[in-house]
Chain A
Amino acid sequence: MVTKDKQYVEHMDALQAFSRGLQEPEWMLQLRLEALKQIDSLEPPVIERLRYTRWPLWQVPNLTGAPAPLSIDPYEYIEDKADTARVVQTGNDTVIETLPESLKEKGVIFTDLHTALREHPELVKEAYMTKVVKPGENKITAFHAAFMNSGLFLYVPKNLELTDPLEAVFIQNSLVEDSFVKHVLIYADTNSNFNYVEKFLTKGDKKNAANIMVEVIAKAGAQVKYSAVDQLGVNSTVYFHRKGYTHRDATIDWAIGVMNSGNVIADFDTDLVGNGSSSDLKAVGISNGRQTQVIDSNVVNFGNSTQGNIFQHGVILDSATLTFNGIGHIIKGAKQADAQQESRVLMLSDKARGDANPILLIDEFEVTAGHAASVGRVDPEEMYYLMSRGIEQEEAERLVIRGFLGAVIQAIPLKGVRDELVETIERKLTTK
């Protein structure tokens, strides 16, 4: 490891001051300090097919609590929309927060994490890093728990069904040097049903680390449809950890576009704990330039009759690397569980490196499971056919890429998300 012994505990005083400055409750401070003590002794998680010990993920964020000297105009990235449920954060600051009155009245909470800590401390305390992700799991979770510097809290009450999606936009402020340690906590109470749409972007080109955790708790019968388009910048080194936890008959469906420009580990996990619960993970990724992105999808079936699907397609250009690890794990006792996965990677350049690595771990007999994986190149016959109609090579490649990713994109239920993904793909392919 690049870190030295006891490197982190030196920050204890600063961290205490930071927590007090944010008026955090005592339990939060204790959670931070406890995690801080563990960072030095914990190891980073093992990611199949990746060595990342030299990745600059470990820079302690600015703990002075002073506002960033350079700020961002969020309207560079978003449109002005009245009456939508939306939270926009630039760096650590929440700059836009709108929630229709009707939702407030019904008890929906959609606000930055520190506001939630003040206004709804019990709810946050119940859910924050208690069950889904725990601080002591590994070096990264401990680092996160200690140094989390901003976040978002979403609570949807029992039996509430929302038709319009809730939107979150996070713009990393890389006009300044500071680690981006963001926490998103989503609490879907019993039988609630909603769409949540998320975007991560970077403004500026300072070399920064990002350590992003998303926890989704789906209580009995809740249905969460989570969509995200990640577009963090070329100089951001990122560890993304999105993790869901399902109670009985709950569903968490993920649709994620991994379209970052820098080096990224994206860990997408779901623990299917309650009987009859399910999760469907759809991910598309593009790696280009010299970047490495590793997408590590992990669904664990604990409950009976749980169903986990992983469906991921990716494209690699230039001398980039893209790896899909698909891990389906059925725990002993999870009868009638089902774990399916398909990972496919298409390489468009001789220097591209791709990997699709399916792993099925099955400890129970009465189950069904299946996997498909492939790493391939563009069929020259397809390119010839497209070009024989006058389409230039670059445009033909773009069509093939869109077609290849389209299989996953078309399966995403929200049209707005599909369009956004297609646009992002175009953008990523034209800005090499």
Chain B
Amino acid sequence: MAVLEIKNLHASIEDKEILKGVNLTMKTGEIHAIMGPNGTGKSTLAAAIMGHPSYEVTEGEVLLDGENLLELDVDERARAGVFLAVQYPSEIAGITNAEFMRAAINSRREEDDKISVMEFIEKLDEKMALLDMDEEMAERYLNEGFSGGEKKRNEILQLLMIEPTFAILDEIDSGLDIDALQVVSKGVNQMRGEGFGSLIITHYQRLLNYITPDVVHIMMDGRVVKTGGAELAQQLEAEGYKGLVEELGLDIELDED
């Protein structure tokens, strides 16, 4: 079993503090959801864990089995077992999707143990079929000209190919229709198991109808303000963030409905 601990994490972008002390612990075998209104720091949390160059961590630790990820480079964090699926992945012309995924898989393997072409293709075919993806997507350039839905499926495809220990899914559900949502959920549910943990960041409860979380965290104003079971998401759906703000007696302005 692996453990991911986020301890008192503070992070800022261009000197504006976004994360103001996030604490969260998760283990493999668990699915956690983070919900919260827009602009509350959910995506910043994901980016800070992965090491996005625009974010500066000013305080705190992110420990993976006791090792501080924040001291590692982005690629080392990934190889340590963390994966981040994002809403708007980069489009890179000239590199095919397949080539990119092979490089990602091989980066985790020893020089004399690279994945064979056959093994890679078999795995790729299987995972693409699961996600209802057209075969030609493998030979297209990385995310180039992909629709929003295709990009998100492609992020989940990478998740299935790389098989990380912990996957953070950053609003992977936004803008997806029900069919696509089901496909994406199918992918995540297939990963579910002893050796895998996931932190699902979402704005809406909708995705959680398909991927039932073990733990739900509510984030507001750069902090986790409440943690509970799957029922917390339902409560939120019924009462909205406003009700929660009142319940917790928080002094927070919500910049949305």
Contacts and interface: CB of A to CB of B under 8 A. Distances in A.
Contact of A406 (B78, B93, B108): B93
B74 A403 contact: no
Given A384-B53, A385-B89, A399-B99, A391 B104 contact: yes
Interface string A209-240: 00000000000000000000000000000000
Interface stretch (A109-117, A268-276, A332-340, A375-383): A375-383
Interface of A: 379-382, 384-393, 395-396, 399-400, 402-407, 410
A118 to B, nearest CB: 48
Interface string B76-117: 011100011000011011110001110110011000000000
Given A384-B74, A389-B83, A389-B107, 8 more contacts: A386-B90, A387-B74, A388-B50, A388-B51, A388-B84, A389-B78, A402-B94, A403-B142
A405 B94 CA distance: 8
22 contacts: A379-B90, A381-B90, A384-B90, A385-B89, A385-B92, A386-B103, A387-B74, A388-B74, A388-B75, A388-B78, A389-B100, A391-B75, A391-B103, A393-B73, A395-B103, A395-B107, A399-B100, A400-B92, A403-B142, A404-B93, A404-B94, A406-B93
What's the dominant secondary structure at chain B's contact region? Answer: mixed
B95 A389 contact: no
Which of B84, B94, B104, B162 neighbours the largest number of chain A CB atoms within 10 Å of its CB? B94
B90 A393 contact: no
B52 interface: yes
B185 interface: no
A363 B168 CA distance: 60
B158 interface: yes
Contacts of B99: 399
What's the dominant secondary structure at chain A's contact region? Answer: helix
B75 A396 contact: yes
B210 interface: no
Nearest to B93: A403
B120 interface: no
Interface in B7-56: 50-53
A392 B106 CA distance: 11
Contact of B162 (A384, A387, A389, A399): A389
Q: Which 4 A-B pairs have the closest CB atoms?
A: A403-B94, A406-B94, A390-B78, A389-B104
Nearest to A396: B75
B104 A390 contact: yes
A385 to B, nearest CB: 4
A410 B141 CA distance: 12
A390 B107 contact: yes
Nearest to B104: A389
A390 B162 contact: yes
Which of A385, A390, A407 neighbours the largest number of chain B CB atoms within 10 Å of its CB? A390
A199 B108 CA distance: 37
Given A379-B90, A387-B75, A402 B95 contact: yes
A298 to B, nearest CB: 27
B150 to A, nearest CB: 16
Contacts of B107: 389-392, 395
A386 B101 CA distance: 10
Contacts of A388: 50-51, 74-75, 77-78, 83-84
A399 B94 CA distance: 8
Contacts of B100: 386, 389, 399
Given A390-B107, A393-B75, A399 B50 contact: no
A403 B95 contact: yes
A406 B140 CA distance: 13
Contacts of A393: 73, 75
A28 to B, nearest CB: 47
B90 A399 contact: no
Contacts of A390: 75, 78-79, 104, 107-108, 162
B93 A407 contact: yes
